[in-house]
Amino acid sequence: MQHMGPLHDLVHYCGASGFTGGSSFTMYRTEARDGGYKGVLRSAMYGHREVSKRDCLVFLRRSMDASFATSPTMYIIHPHRPFLLRPATALPGRRHPPRRITIVADGSTAGNPPVEREIIPSGPLPSLYRSQVINRPIKKNVASDENQRTALPPPMPLSASSLAASLCNAWEDMVNKWLEPLPLRPSIDPEAVLAGNFAPVHELPPTPCPVVKGSIPHCLRGGAYVRNGPNPQHAPRGPHHLFDGDGMLHSLMLSADGGRSPAVMCSRFVRTQRYTVEREAGGPVFPNFFTFRGLAGAGRAALALARVLMGQLHPGKGISPGNVSLAFFHRRLFAFGEPDLPYAIHLSTHDGDVSTVGRANFGSRFFEGMTAHPKKDPDTGEVFAFRYRPIPPFLTYFRFDKDGTKQPDVPIFSVRKFSLFHDFAITKRFAIFPDLPIVVDYPGMVLGGGSLFRADAVKMPRIGVISRGATSGAEMKWFDVPGFSPIHILNSWEEEGEGSDGHAIVLVAPNMINVPQLLEGMEHGHNCVEMLRIDLKNNMVTRTPLSVKSLDMGVINAAYVGKKNRYAYLAMAGPFPKMKGVAKLDFELAKQNKDCVVACREYGPGCFGGEPFFVSKTKPGTRTTATW
């Protein structure tokens, strides 16, 4: 990808809710002509790691002065099927595109009121976007209750062009019918999972959204917001988890002239090997590991092996749906999905279309895969990453130099179990890894009837510290931290002064405090943001809670990665995996033993969002707290 001005500073690492940062958010505003109705619609774009990682539906609620004596009339809009409104029973069968989209800037840090920028969509809606579920038209007179279940079309028959395919299809049907315990748990029931906010959507070709009032802020001009999330191209044949589904990229490209040219919205699938194979087969073929449980899980694992042996699947060519996150480094945009290699993505500056360039191995012949959360040093340009796999070494650390050349692997043999490693942190000199008590237990799944992923009550959570330039895994030093299980990391830095002599590391992360319950259902998740001080000299770890609120999926100014920072912005849970708002934390308050949340903004009843994303109001990459 060529350099495109501030574009690279607006491409996100994870999903986010509009151009959010701090307590800012994106608002959609619309008017309906029927019955004198007016309402306010707030955006709710779901981010990467909460359950769907896909744009959710957003709900239009009645304004306070609406002249209705009945309950609030609600509309539903797909941001990625642009501006298609599906009315509730009060207005059966009617569709109203919103008149304008408003970007609301956060003025709290400067003491100024919010500033609004409006965009108006134009042109008729293509017929492609008049379907609610894949290959299924929208039904009229359907109530738009956010908790309603969306009816799924019947599973598409897989291609049976060979005897091998026919046998595998029959095998899968048998597992679904005879081995899978019924009724399905809500967390893997397709009719519950792929409903409401998480209903599948079609691709959206580049669609102009002209600006009709105000102008696009200078720091956003010429840039693009891109998010990634799962969106199944085919109806599931059996259980389905929110973490499953093909990766879909949603892009909003903003003009460089401040609005004289229209913004362009586009949604495209990540053309992974998995997507291509299943598109040709006409239905799901690859295993979805988050649905593996008991004998049915064993049957699905055996089926996956059979498909490999029969030539239907080729794991070496890629198995990931590429649906977790995005990262921009070395002048290229990549879509990530563990545990595979990333896919290079191209965003056309000509028409705003999004396309998949191909699977990237960075010139390394035996490169197997990498985390969906690589870390880029803002000063040196180096990129750090890791991978985990089911056979030793279970964890491998590696890095890329400033020119994008992958350096040799550093296997970490001190990790003794196949465990979940999802995120990590870097400082000026170190890389920090949380070793969680979440393990992959195939024997336990088969013999105990449990899930493939389980909480290990015996395993002690710990933090590993290794030199960024390490050449041997023996350099890893571990610190036991009972009860500390962070899925995501906010930031880490080395202490300076106060007699620390550079021998102390500070790590800030949301701690998942109920791991066993979370693995049974994400609605049970609760996170407590903590600050850890790791004394490398005296082998001590001290912990300070930063807030009692359940917060996760945080973001900081990328200019402070690996350095001491003061502010962070996190999504407010409720009910998980939906996020009800954004919270701003001030780490300086930790010294006073105060709750570090200094500002919150909730989206309002029936409105939900995702992971925030920081965009500086000043020059991109500068150290500032002024944000969109």
% of the chain exceeding 70 in pLDDT: 71
d(CA 604, CA 592): 31
User: Residue 237's closest CA among 204, 282, 295?
Assistant: 282
Q: Where are the beta strands (DSSP E) in 97-203?
A: 100-105, 115-119, 131-133, 136-137
Annotated binding site: 373, 422, 488
Structural domain contains residue 126 = no
Asked if residue 608 has pLDDT above 70, the reply is: yes
Beta bridge partner(s), residue 380: none
C-alpha separations of 514 from 435, 438, 457, 522 in Å:
16, 11, 12, 10
> Cα separations (Å) of 33 from 59, 98, 122?
17, 11, 17
pLDDT of residue 203: 96
Pick the range with the lowest mean pLDDT from 20-24, 139-143, 264-268, 551-555.
20-24
* Helix, strand, coil abundance in the chain, percent, nearest 5: 15, 30, 50
- Within a domain: residue 148? no
Which position has the higher pLDDT, 528 or 94?
Answer: 528
Q: How many C-beta atoms surround the C-beta of residue 422 within 10 A?
A: 18
The edge-to-edge listing of strands for the beta sheet with 430-435 is 425-426, 430-435, 462-467, 477-480
Asked whether residue 30 carries a pLDDT value surpassing 50, the answer given is no
Residue 60 has pLDDT above 50, yes or no: no
Q: Can you spell out the DSSP letters for 296-339?
A: HHHHHHHHHHHHHHTTS--GGG------SEEEEETTEEEEE-TT
578 pLDDT more than 60: yes
Provide CB contacts within 8 A for 370, sequence distance 6+.
336, 341, 342, 385, 386, 387, 398
pLDDT tens-digit profile of 101-127?
333 333 333 334 333 333 333 333 232
Which segments are annotated as binding site for Fe cation?
A: 373, 422, 488
- Whole-angstrom distance, CA of residue 561 vs CA of residue 386: 17
Secondary structure of residue 364 in the 3-state scheme: coil
* Domain contains 62: no
Residue tagged 């890791």 (tokens): 386
Do the domain assignments include residue 143? no
306 occurs within a structural domain: yes
The C-alpha atoms of residue 512 and residue 472 are separated, in whole angstroms, by 30
Q: Identify whether 203 is part of a domain.
A: yes
- Provide the pairing of β-strand 540-545 with 551-555: unpaired
Mean pLDDT, to the nearest integer, of 186-205? Answer: 88
| Tokens of residue 612, six digits | 């925030």
Judge contact between 124 and 95, C-beta under 8 A. no
CA 547 vs. chain centroid, Å, equals 23
Domain count, the chain: 1
pLDDT for residue 502: 66
Assess if residue 385 is contained within a domain: no
Q: Which of 135, 134, 140 is nearest to 94 (CA)?
A: 140
Q: How far is CA 29 from CA 77, 99, 100, 209, 628, in A?
A: 11, 7, 6, 14, 18
Strands (E), 354-460: 354-359, 375-376, 383-388, 395-400, 410-412, 425-426, 430-435, 438-440, 453-455
Distance in angstroms between the alpha carbons of the first and the last residue of the chain: 25
Residues 545-565: tens digit of each pLDDT: 999 999 999 999 999 999 999
Q: Is 414 exposed, middle or buried (0-12, 13-18, 19+ CB in 10 A)?
A: middle
Give the length of the chain: 628
How far is 402 from 584, CA to CA, in rounded Å?
Answer: 32
Per-chain mean pLDDT for the chain:
75
The neighbouring-strand residues paired with 397 are 386, 410
Q: Is the pLDDT of residue 310 over 70?
A: yes
> Is 407 part of any domain?
no
CB 306 within 8 A of CB 171: yes
β-bridge mates for residue 100, sequence order: 29
d(CA 197, CA 190): 13
pLDDT above 90 for 147 = no
Six-digit token string for 427: 């400082």
Report pLDDT for 58.
29
Q: Which residue has the tokens 């005296």?
A: 538
Q: Does residue 139 have a pLDDT over 70?
A: no
Task: Find the domain containing 303 and state its range.
Answer: 67-73+161-372
Q: pTM for this structure?
A: 0.74
> pLDDT, tens digit, for every residue of 343-392?
999 999 999 999 999 999 888 776 889 999 999 999 999 999 999 999 99
- Top mean-pLDDT range of 327-336, 522-531, 616-625: 327-336
